[in-house]
Structure 1
Amino acid sequence: MQTQLQTRRQHLQCCGSAIAAGLFSGLLPQAAQAGALINPCRGQLPAALRKHPLLARNWQGLDPAELWDVHTHLLGTGDAGTGCRINAQMTQWWHPVESLRRQVILQGACVPANVPSVDIAYLQRLLQLCQGFPEGARWLLYAFDEAHDEQGRARPEWTTFHVPDRYAAETSRLHPARFAWVASIHPNREDALARLDAAIAGGAVALKWLPSAMNIDLRAPHLQPFYARLARARLPLIIHCGEEKAVPGAGRDELGNPLLARVPLGAGVRVIMAHCASLGEALDLDLQRPRLLPAFDLFARLMDEPAHRELLLGDVSALFQFNRRPEVWQQMLSRQDWHARLLHGSDYPLPGVGPLYRLKGLVRAGVLDAAHAPVLEALRAHTPLLFDFHLKRLVSWRGQVLRPEVFATRRHFAAGLGHNAASPSPFEESAIR
């Protein structure tokens, strides 16, 4: 009887992960392969894998000191005094969708359900994964502001999770060899400009917005002073465009239209479009009668407009997940003229979420050698961060690969390169180590 109950419980856990993963991708039926759902969370790489010639080859021609992962999420529940919060629905069994979303994300980050502190366990696991990279490699830790309405009021019911600037800044200062930090300030806040000035003074290397989740209309006139300040400081604005599944937030999908980025670009702001807007559709606002097009096609249009060639960039995080079209993979590899404007990022912890990466699909699309898949799968079981890096080094299309410039990302954040000096921390070090 006990064995039957255990089997049933394991089955329900797998099904729950499949449902939540399907919600992230919008492709629930394809997320039902239970064998690929759970992150094994294994420890150190075995020697045979660590010294594998294929993996050693992938470091050739790269300077680890220039390798900054430009898309890394810092998460927590605030149980260690970090100030982090998650939506209350994510801990309520009567909201099964949101509860499962939390479980899948934490499992992807190898944070056990019964851990004494989510904040501490999440950061410890990330630091452990960083140790698999050569010295010099760093990760940009994202703060994430609350959603606000048009009157500047915080809307916790629209906020999936919140990571304050202070936590991201102090974590990077305690671990300067591995981390830098990215601020997140909602421009509808009454004190938005003061917060931006504080973030710049505090060494933030960029600013992160997710417009659809945070309720940010890039066209709003009151954002112009904010844009002017970003342009003057040469601080990049990282925005998520296209469809968003992992962080629904305010649910304003229309605000994720890539064409709206023309407004900050026109104000002289350097814009990094997360994931190259590679998922979902958006209205082609350039037409007299707008119609839906793949959001990636609109990103490509912006990339090819001469006015934006010095300002618009894209990060390649999540680009090779199974829910992207093969045409996107092929175009990203073949558009070698874009590569100096593309930036490596992992979107951690999503590389640890089982069903989001299907190597067989990449092989079928002709962008991954079938012989490389077993090595990548073995690598992923131990360290999703290294898996993500090596996957991007191995994908190719008709002999064309992601050029070394894609992995030399440090140069894009010159305004913040002098930060991370030691400074007193308002947190107890034990709380965020």
Structure 2
Amino acid sequence: MSPATATPVIDCHVHLVGNGRKGSGCWIRMSGWHRWLGGFMAKMIGMPVSFEHEEFDAAYVSRLADFVKESSADQILLLAQEEVYHEDGTKRDFGSFHVPNDYLFEVCSGNPAFLPAVSIHPARKDALEELDRCLAQGARALKLLPNCLDVDCSRPAYDAFWEKMAEAGLPMLAHTGGEMTVPVANKLYQDPRYLERPLEIGVKIIAAHAASNSSLWDEDYFDVLVEMMRRHPNLYGDSSALNTPVRSSAFAKILHCDLADRFVHGSDFPVPVGTWYARMRGLVDGPARAEAASIPNLIERDLRLKKSMGFPEGHFTRVGEILRKVG
């Protein structure tokens, strides 16, 4: 942990997951590739039970708490996961997992290192009421995956939602770029240009994954993101899930970008953290790679690799200036 007097080191992108077998309200519905990947991620973080076990929810929170306590991170931004809705506000039967805001707040109340990032689809008929409720409970940010939740952030119908977020100082952590870990509802919305409207209204936005491509078949929007950042001082990017085969190409772009101080640290836990990708791209040397590979704690491994690449201290603390202030 960093010294108590120092600015907190915050991992801004950590997922809460649960199956709801003991009343959390969560659900997991994975098949095919996503089911295999979910099992692989559970194995990578050393889960003592499968994601179908009735004790999975408690075991996941316990494992996560241990990882944070044993890492260099002081706090994590913990993410809820909204369900998918049609534009008329009716729920759509789509997606691989759901984590309600109520469960998020319950988990965060039990650990001061967990900062709550709620998730609300703006097409919900009660979206404004839910946003008010979450603000009253201390939400620090809002997490959306526009391409996976089918959210066209450019719709004028959502303006009141963005206005309330902007007024409250609640930033949005928005997925940008391709996606492989959860099903995609509308690939169009991986383009960060769909975030222009909430940005113009005044919402602070952190573009997750630096708008990089997750596979060779995805478009890389990094240059688009940087151009948008020049026009919008309230737009940031995060470095989450970049220690993966394709996304790792974004590391050098961030480090050599003249707006590098607008990017913040995130791991995307429990997404696997590979060590060879940074080594093969010449970003770390052999001993640094080997040291990181010896760390089973993925939160710490991701952080350690980035420090070895040369990311400055501000990269790991800056998000504290962006999150909504509470208390």
CA contact (8 A) 1:278 1:295 kept: yes
In the alignment, what sits opposite 1:168?
104
Q: What residue in structure 1 maps to residue 90 of structure 2?
A: 153
CA distance in 2, matches of 1:109, 1:369: 25
Q: Is the 8 A contact 1:63 1:408 kept in 2?
A: no
Structure 1 counterpart of 2:228: 302
Q: Which runs of 5+ in 1 are unaligned?
A: 1-55, 282-291, 396-400, 419-433
**Residues paired across the two proteins, number:** 323
Q: Is the 8 A contact 1:129 1:385 kept in 2?
A: yes
C-alpha distance after superposition, 1:240-285 (max 9, x if no partner)? 01101101142x011111111111111111011001111159xxxx
Supply the AA of the counterpart residue of 1:375: E
Q: Which of 1 and 2 has greater Rg? A: 1
Secondary structure of residue in 2 paired with 1:416: coil
CA distance in 2, matches of 1:233, 1:196: 10
Cα displacement (A) at 1:187:
0.5
Higher RCO (CA < 8 A, seq sep 6+): 1
Question: Is the aligned partner of 1:144 residue 2:61?
Answer: no
Match of 1:101 in 2: 37
Q: Is the 8 A contact 1:72 1:346 kept in 2?
A: yes
**Counterpart Cα distance in 1 of 2:247 and 2:278:** 10
Partners of 2:219 and 2:96 in 1: how far apart?
27
| CA apart distance, 1:412 | 2.5
| 1:276–1:315 contact (8 Å) kept in structure 2 | yes
Q: Is the 8 A contact 2:141 2:323 kept in 1?
A: no
Q: Distance in 1 between matches of 2:168 and 2:326?
A: 13
Query: What CA distance in whole angstroms lies between the structure 2 residues aligned with 1:161 and 1:244?
Result: 14
Partner of 2:297: 383
* 2:258 maps to 1:314: no
* Matching residue within 201, 218, 235 for 1:267: 201
Give the deviation of 1:77 after TM superposition: 0.1
In the alignment, what sits opposite 1:21? Answer: none
Matches within 5 A, 1:22-421: 65-87=7-29, 90=30, 95-111=31-47, 112-113=49-50, 115-133=53-71, 137-156=74-93, 158-176=94-112, 178-250=113-185, 252-279=186-213, 294-305=220-231, 308-309=232-233, 311-324=234-247, 326=249, 328-335=250-257, 337-350=258-271, 353=272, 357-359=274-276, 361-379=277-295, 382-395=296-309, 401-413=310-322, 415-418=324-327
Distance 1:262 1:70 in 2: 22
Q: Alignment identity in percent?
A: 30
- Provide the C-alpha distance between the structure 1 equivalents of 2:10 and 2:67, rounded to a whole number of angstroms: 14
- Give the C-alpha shift of residue 98 in structure 1: 3.9
The Cα of 1:116 is off from its aligned counterpart by 4.4
The Cα offsets for residues 353-373 of structure 1, whole Å up to 9 and x where unpaired, read as: 3xx5142x3223221112211
The CA distance in 1 between the partners of 2:22 and 2:75, in whole Å, is 24
Structure 2: tracts of 5 or more residues without a match? none
- The 8 Å contact of residues 264 and 315 in structure 2, kept in 1 or not, is answered as yes
Instruction: Say whether the 8 Å CA contact 2:10–2:320 is kept in structure 1.
Output: no
Residues 68 and 169 of structure 1: CA distance in aligned 2, closer, same or farther (over 3 Å): same
Higher helix share: 1
CA change 1:149–1:195 in 2 (3 A) is same
Quick one: which amino acid aligns to residue 39 of structure 2? Q
Query: How many Å separate the matches in 2 of 1:115 and 1:106?
Result: 12
TM-score normalised by length of structure 1? 0.70
